[in-house]
Amino acid sequence: MMSGARGRTRQASKPIPGQAALGRFIASREGVLLVTLLVLGVAIDLGSHGALWYRANVTSFLVDFAITAIPATGMTIVILTGGIDVSTGSMLGLIAALGGKLLAAGWGLAVAVPAFLLLGALFGLVNAIIIIEGAVPPIVATLGTLSIYRMLVFIVLGSAWLTDIPPVLTKIFVTTRLGPLPVATLLALAVMAGFAIFLRFFRAGRHIYALGNNEEAARLAGLDVLRIKRASYVLIGIFTGLAALLNLGESPLVQTSTGSGFVLTVIAAVVLGGTELSGGRGTILGTLFGTLIVQLVQDGVVLLHIQPFWSGVLLGLIILVSVGLSHAWHRPAEAA
């Protein structure tokens, strides 16, 4: 009788699988980010007296999210390999200027859209060649191309803004909706979902983590380290080209400052999402939540009538706090 009672007690004390999984998620980095997102959203909603949910603001938020999320996915891949690309903002400005010229000249979308992506791939490949063939540290190489790409924006545009871009991109990516979401947002979510699956379930995705954790061990294991690095920089270039396309959909004009400060937003989203700058650790789901929080912060600055320069200050603080929390988060596990 006694043993039977003990058995029933043990059985009754077992946690329900669904509850256990929910508890693990809430305690995870992604769970903390989700709670932070909800609390921040409520605070901004109350502070703005409901302006957060105005239709125009929601549409703007969703499109801005897409413009950041797609390059942030590429940046996640690059940082997972142990690299970084700080030229993204200038690259976006240059692609927008060159692609906008094509659209303004009357080129159809069948030619212009691939041109955006090919330009991104080309500029990403340039970064990869400098880093790999030139043996230049990624931060140094992309700081250099950041300045070069920005100079080329000035050369392409001269002293005038490019304003005669047809509104067809706005109609496709912003105005057109599938359900409650603009096409731009659905495109971003599809990209993130695809690469989340790739990193989790495909061997090539696991190779990216292996490279970021220990490059020499990855090389000795037979991985083509240089090919993985090259592909990651080309990928973020392509995604930046796609973001430039969406950017013109949201605002069909290009100026010499287009893309300025954009890389800070992208890196803040990725780092806040839990991707470690040292490489080898991070998830696309974390980047999704990180992008939403960063975008909500920027939206809140506008809705709460805070001076715009505070947006950059807050993003800088987000990066610093995220890096510190990331070290604190994993220190107990490493000590164990």
Lowest average pLDDT, out of 21-30, 71-80, 165-174, goes to 21-30
Determine, yes or no, domain membership for 232.
yes
DSSP code string of 245-288: HHHHHHS--B-TTTTTTHHHHHHHHHHHTT--TTSS---HHHHH
CATH number at residue 186: 1.10.3470
CA gap 144, 140 in Å, rounded: 6
Q: Is-contact 218 211, C-beta < 8 A? A: yes
What radius of gyration do the chain's Cα atoms show? 22
237 within a domain of the structure (yes/no): yes
Per the structure, the count of domains in the chain is 1
Domain range for residue 257? 56-323
With a pLDDT cut of 70, the percent of the chain lying above it is 87
Q: Are the beta carbons of 220 and 89 closer than 8 angstroms?
A: no
pLDDT in tens, 47-75: 999 999 999 999 999 999 999 999 999 99
Amino acid at 80: L
The answer to whether residue 13 is domain-embedded is no
Interval 191-200: pLDDT, tens: 999 999 999 9
3 CB burial (10 A radius; 0-12, 13-18, 19+):
exposed
pLDDT band at 31 (very low <50, low <70, confident <90, very high): confident
Is 180 part of any domain?
yes
1: pLDDT strictly greater than 50: no
Q: Is residue 149 part of a domain?
A: yes
pTM recorded for the entire structure: 0.88
Two structure tokens written together for 240: 């930046």
Please return the burial class of 66, using the count of CB atoms within 10 Å of its CB with bins 0-12, 13-18 and 19+.
buried
43 — phi, psi (to 5°)?
A: -65, -45
